[in-house]
Chains A and B, each alone.
Chain A
Amino acid sequence: MSDKIKPSPEWQSAAVVKRLHERTSPGSPTAVQVFLNDEVAASDLPEKAKEIVTDTSASLNLPADAIKLGKVFRSAKSFSVTTDVPAVFEALCKRDEVKTILESEQPDILPTPRNVKDAF
């Protein structure tokens, strides 16, 4: 048995990227949360996030504003980016420092309560 288990199929990078491709197009940007590996120090995070965004943009020959860097979460070792270029998501996932990405919008994060009834 291994210490690190793989994500469920729906949360593996390929599946997330596939969904992102379906909903992202020029003029219709999508926001994602990019989670970095444990090896990245929390103190390095803001610089590392900028570096990843800059490098990704350059590798795809995109204009400087094609990828918008959002908030950086040191405790989660993550940052958000918004883009309308689908190829960005694959490029992000290929980075060694990136553990996983998730769509920022999640419609099913609250386990729905059952048998909701008025009381008293």
Chain B
Amino acid sequence: MAGSGIEDTLAAIGYVKVIATLKQGVGGAAAASAQIEGSIRDHFMAPDTEQAESLAAAATRSAGRKFKRSESLASRRVRVYPYLGLAVGEVTSNGLASLQADPKVDKIDKAPELSLIRPVDEQPARTGAGPTWGIRRLGADRLWRAGITGKGVVVGHLDTGVDGTHPALRGAIAQFAAFDLAGDQVPNAPPTDSGEHGTHTAGTIVGRPVANGRFGIAPEAQLASAMVIEGGQVIDRILGGMDWVIGQGARVLSMSLGLRGFTPAFQSVIDALRAANVLPVIAVGNEGPATSRSPGNYANVLSIGAMDVNDKVADFSGSQTFNRPINPLCPTLVGPGVDIVSCVPGRKFKTMDGTSMATPHVAGLAALLLQAVPTATVNDLETAIIDSCSLPRSMTQARANHGVPDAERAFLRLTGQQQLPSAPPAAAVATGRRRRPARGRKSPASRPPRRPAKKVARGHRVAASRNKGAPKRGRRRTGT
């Protein structure tokens, strides 16, 4: 009786939204709606209210007006349309079985998935000579003042390429590669961008100061950048690029790309990256609540969503809960991803919104931390970033998971120091090989966590303390 796609979705995320067609004679009058609803509501689950509320809120903002809603999303499990003879709601596998057995139900189909079309915002871009709001929000400028600028660290970057002639990227490209249709590297390819996305994300990671301002989180780090997206056999080139990054001494991979939905295809290469001590920092996607992209939705990547300057998760930012015991919720955290200024080819600058813009912010933060502790393992680094997060009251866990990272807290967590140094630390030596601390000495982030601070700032919850009693879905356990 159940239509195609229902079982697949159930297997993938544990629940599915369905349309149940009621048998003839059931319904037919508005007055009967409440009665029918009451008789079938137990088949349906309480919806993932935070994702649903986020979608509803985004729709309200998009349309510029409020929609009338008779009751909260939380209390309504099923909506019955008596004249159409339909009931719509979300079911688990048990609910589906009981709904199929209900004599009032004739047929069950998967409800179509809707997505938002976001209107274009015509606000003028904010400019200024200082660090961008994203840098300040993560507190990266506080690490700069302590001499931590990413010097000596190489960040992997797979994108549309990078314009190596842009003034903001002078000296910032350590290695560049382009790949042919077969996934083989093209010899001596100059650093160029087949679009502008790659130069923009590169600028957010390693952009050098320019007269107009500072937008690079790690302004003395360097990129190993590969052009992997320009049409054609893109999968071959992305895999070739990931392979190449492992061999370039990169310790972080920033990847603002992915396939809509979930595919396990990239799991082996993500595992290989982690085994080579490279932290995968990957965008969750721009399709809004209850959506995500692969591999940004894997359990063992740092999955990045987007927030705005007002500490709100961007309406377009993806978020999704999966039916898996480890890290079921993506993204892992959110970073600045709205109204992000960076460089684009042709010596120009643009603002863009997207989880593609949030991802390089976090990759840049990882580069800063690696300068401070070059021997940090991928797990040390990931733990320090996650433990530094706080969840502003303006965000929900379902949309932002651990919340927003803080550079200073991550530094202190990773180094075990009590405060930022006043003198610049020695430059890191970039290496792709795992270097463990000396025998008998654990790196600070490998030690048991210290008792977390109860509160860092008014209106913020700290990830470590929140997680103590947090729902299981937000907790993070990863390994290589």
Binding site for B on A (CB under 8 A): 1-12, 31, 33, 35-36, 38, 42, 70-71, 73-78, 80, 99-100, 102-106, 108-120
How many inter-chain residue pairs (CB < 8 Å) link A and B?
196
Pairwise interchain contact B258-A111, C-beta atoms closer than 8 A? yes
Assembly CA distance A11 to B8 (angstroms): 11
Assembly CA distance A102 to B258 (angstroms): 13
Assembly CA distance A120 to B129 (angstroms): 10
Q: Are A120 and B182 also in contact (CB < 8 A) when A111-B285, A113-B352 are?
A: no
Q: Are A103 and B265 also in contact (CB < 8 A) when A2-B324, A9-B8 are?
A: no
User: Known contacts A76-B272, A103-B235, A113-B286; can you find 13 more A-B pairs with CB under 8 A?
Assistant: A1-B325, A7-B263, A71-B182, A73-B240, A73-B269, A75-B243, A76-B266, A100-B264, A104-B235, A109-B238, A113-B197, A114-B316, A119-B351
Assembly CA distance A36 to B269 (angstroms): 11
What are the residues of chain B within 8 A of A100 when measuring CB–CB?
A: 263-265
At the interface, yes or no: B356 with Cβ under 8 Å from chain A?
A: yes
Q: Are A104 and B324 also in contact (CB < 8 A) when A8-B261, A11-B263, A70-B183 are?
A: no
At the interface, yes or no: B39 with Cβ under 8 Å from chain A?
A: no
CB A92 to nearest CB in B, in angstroms, measures 14
What are the residues of chain A within 8 A of B256 when measuring CB–CB?
A: 110-111
At the interface, yes or no: B260 with Cβ under 8 Å from chain A?
A: yes
Pairwise interchain contact A119-B127, C-beta atoms closer than 8 A? yes
Assembly CA distance A35 to B268 (angstroms): 9
Assembly CA distance A74 to B275 (angstroms): 13
At the interface, yes or no: B453 with Cβ under 8 Å from chain A?
A: no
CB A97 to nearest CB in B, in angstroms, measures 12
CB B469 to nearest CB in A, in angstroms, measures 21
Contact of B357 among A99, A110, A113 (CB under 8 A): A113
Pairwise interchain contact A73-B229, C-beta atoms closer than 8 A? no
What are the residues of chain B within 8 A of A116 when measuring CB–CB?
A: 350-352
Pick 14 A–B contacts, CB within 8 A, sort by A.
Answer: A2-B323, A3-B326, A5-B264, A8-B260, A8-B262, A31-B236, A35-B268, A70-B183, A76-B266, A100-B263, A104-B234, A110-B256, A111-B257, A118-B349
Pairwise interchain contact B354-A105, C-beta atoms closer than 8 A? no
Interface residues of B in 278-293 (CB under 8 A from A): 283, 285-287, 293
CB A101 to nearest CB in B, in angstroms, measures 8
Pairwise interchain contact B353-A114, C-beta atoms closer than 8 A? yes
Contact of B349 among A38, A70, A120 (CB under 8 A): A120
Assembly CA distance A21 to B257 (angstroms): 26
Q: Are A33 and B118 also in contact (CB < 8 A) when A76-B242, A76-B243 are?
A: no
Pairwise interchain contact A109-B351, C-beta atoms closer than 8 A? no
Assembly CA distance A36 to B43 (angstroms): 39
Contact of B265 among A35, A38, A108 (CB under 8 A): A35
B9-17, B30-38, B97-105: which lies at the A interface?
B9-17
CB A41 to nearest CB in B, in angstroms, measures 11
Assembly CA distance A107 to B253 (angstroms): 22
What are the residues of chain A within 8 A of B257 when measuring CB–CB?
A: 109-111
Contact of A110 among B8, B160, B184, B212 (CB under 8 A): B160
In chain A, what residue has the closest Cβ to B316? A114
Q: Are A75 and B356 also in contact (CB < 8 A) when A11-B259, A80-B183, A109-B259 are?
A: no
At the interface, yes or no: B202 with Cβ under 8 Å from chain A?
A: no
Contact of A1 among B240, B266, B323 (CB under 8 A): B323
What are the residues of chain A within 8 A of B184 when measuring CB–CB?
A: 71
Q: Are A75 and B268 also in contact (CB < 8 A) when A9-B9, A70-B236, A111-B286 are?
A: yes
CB A1 to nearest CB in B, in angstroms, measures 5
What are the residues of chain B within 8 A of A120 when measuring CB–CB?
A: 125, 127, 212, 341, 349
Assembly CA distance A78 to B13 (angstroms): 26
Pairwise interchain contact B240-A11, C-beta atoms closer than 8 A? no
Contact of B12 among A6, A80, A106, A119 (CB under 8 A): A6
Assembly CA distance A25 to B260 (angstroms): 27
At the interface, yes or no: B149 with Cβ under 8 Å from chain A?
A: no
At the interface, yes or no: B322 with Cβ under 8 Å from chain A?
A: yes
CB B434 to nearest CB in A, in angstroms, measures 16
Pairwise interchain contact B268-A110, C-beta atoms closer than 8 A? no
Contact of A8 among B12, B238, B324 (CB under 8 A): B12
Contact of A33 among B212, B265, B323 (CB under 8 A): B265
The 7 closest A-B pairs by CB, nearest first: A8-B261, A75-B272, A11-B263, A76-B269, A104-B233, A113-B352, A6-B11
Pairwise interchain contact A5-B322, C-beta atoms closer than 8 A? yes
Contact of A6 among B8, B160, B246 (CB under 8 A): B8
Q: Are A108 and B259 also in contact (CB < 8 A) when A4-B264, A33-B265, A117-B351 are?
A: yes
Contact of B233 among A4, A42, A105 (CB under 8 A): A105
What are the residues of chain B within 8 A of A6 when measuring CB–CB?
A: 8, 11-12
Assembly CA distance A108 to B259 (angstroms): 7
Assembly CA distance A3 to B203 (angstroms): 37
Assembly CA distance A102 to B294 (angstroms): 13
Pairwise interchain contact B354-A113, C-beta atoms closer than 8 A? yes
Assembly CA distance A15 to B260 (angstroms): 14
Pairwise interchain contact B349-A119, C-beta atoms closer than 8 A? yes
At the interface, yes or no: B388 with Cβ under 8 Å from chain A?
A: no
What are the residues of chain B within 8 A of A74 when measuring CB–CB?
A: 243
Assembly CA distance A43 to B341 (angstroms): 44
At the interface, yes or no: B319 with Cβ under 8 Å from chain A?
A: no
What are the residues of chain B within 8 A of A119 when measuring CB–CB?
A: 125, 127, 212, 341, 349-351
At the interface, yes or no: B421 with Cβ under 8 Å from chain A?
A: no
